[in-house]
Structure 1
Amino acid sequence: MDHDDHHEGQRVSRRRIIAGIGSIGLAGLLAACGRDDATVTTSTGETVAPQATTANDLTSLFSGANTCALTASTTQGPYYFDADRIRGDIREDREGTRLRLAIRVQDSEQCGPLANAVVEIWHCDAAGLYSGAEAQSSGAGGAAGGGAPPAGGAPGGGAPGGGGGQAADLTPVDDKRYLRGAQVTNADGIVEFTTIWPGWYRGRTVHIHAMVHVGDNNNRVLTTQLMFDESLNSRVFAAQPYAAHTGRDTFNDDDSIYQDSMLLKVTEEQGGYLGVIVFSADSDRDGT
């Protein structure tokens, strides 16, 4: 893998990073983009690596990826916790098909880009395991992420149908943090991650969790999931390391959370795939 972890994985809280960005300005953070050795020091003293500049051709891909209609919300599932990692490349040592993920966040009322929002994503690896919860997500240790739903909702998705009660944040039981990370939206409302195509586990289709935070108090204004076309899932899972995990039992058509609006717009690119989607978030949480 072509990991670039030179300045990835710094443990900074979202509250402090947003406060720091408010002082230096987002332009100051993005000005260092494109330099491999670039870092930015916020007013709180944290040294943060800016995310890579979004290519011009990437912006054009957002047209038609979604509409200004409010993005569907789901419960966060049983495996969410604040991993405290502001980074773009979240792969660490996980093997799998490379996936570049680009998300544009817009305000659902103004239909314009939402800058300075924090977008957080997390998902399982090729074997269906979640970092920080490997025992639970494998079905070991009395919890059942890979089998029957643990308390608080279906594995990885929340209550069946996606509209039930919210699961509590997980207390991690190991020190792994792979396939978890957060980025701050630029002036166009865009963040970009490098990850791998997610695997699967019993009871859920293939998905990535996402959460959007705004404001100094890190208000959670959107919790949702991203899905993939099944023809692409089949293509990716025919190769290793995915092919070693057999017996997939749940697909988009029979998943309790899946909605068409959650499908990523996916294109092939050298070394893997690019997935693009637009989130329309209720940034003031007034229900519109």
Structure 2
Amino acid sequence: MTQYLDFEKQLADLEGKAEELRAMAERDDDVDEQARALDQKAKQRLQTLYKNLTPWQKCQVARHPDRPHCRDYVRDLFTEYTPLAGDRNFADDHAVMGGLARLDGRAVVIIGHEKGNDTKSRLEHNFGMARPEGYRKAIRLMDLADRFGLPVITLIDTPGAYPGKGAEERGQSEAIARSTQRCLRLGVPMVSVIVGEGGSGGAVAFATANRVAMLEHSVYSVISPEGCASILWKDAEKMREAAEALRLTAQDLKRLGVIDRIIAEPVGGAQRDGRAAVAAVGEALTDLLGGFAGMDPAAIRAERRQKFVAMGAKGLAA
């Protein structure tokens, strides 16, 4: 059953009426024709709606529970996936999954946030909010990739790092910083894709990569619109204004040079056709990884460093 967002109310009414008419169509050919007309109208409405999404609406789309999650990408894009668990220090963080796999026959290390797709799994995966042991697990996997010369692929979908007391006691900020540092020091290609939410340092710790891509309706920001509104306006209801100011859409970030590629989504968002969205991400990953053929570790590190130095210089100039 389709889950509609707040701004999709008119679309929901149209598709609902078309469904009711189709149920009556066996007894009346005229009704079937009316249903087809409503289907066409709903399709046009969907196209118009998703061509003109506001930043806040894109936030809602990025958080849609029916969007493909990390497990879906791993299942459909990778073969011979072998999960690796634990940080060899404290515990295994189920908000972060990762391991060894093959993409189009090429051995890679895959790391990603997993939110879960129902109440039970969301609680198990802590809604994709990693604790320190999740970042330390990622560092362990990046060490493994560097040792064996395997490219690293990360899939980001998190509202941010878990802000709980226990996480802070176990060194949350230090773990995020070390994960970011490990990304920068990798001597193998690293490609990151923001497939939903890219929230705060919890996302940057996995996305300090040679190439960063975003799905068309995903978002990437230093803070959530609600958090920003609470700090600046002391009112979380100002999230629409905050979303505008944060420049968190893929289109804004591509223009600012923060990301390298926008991956087109099916009309109506990845939640309407998950398989097509997953396939588009797979094509982008293959293409982006192909750009590093023949580069040695020193060149890969230097290119990644220059990418972020240039990004900072561009920001200061603006």
Assess same fold via TM > 0.5. Answer: no
Q: TM-score w.r.t. structure 1 length? A: 0.30
Greater C-alpha radius of gyration: 2
Higher relative contact order (CA 8 A, sep 6+): 1
Task: Select the structure that is richer in strand.
Answer: 1
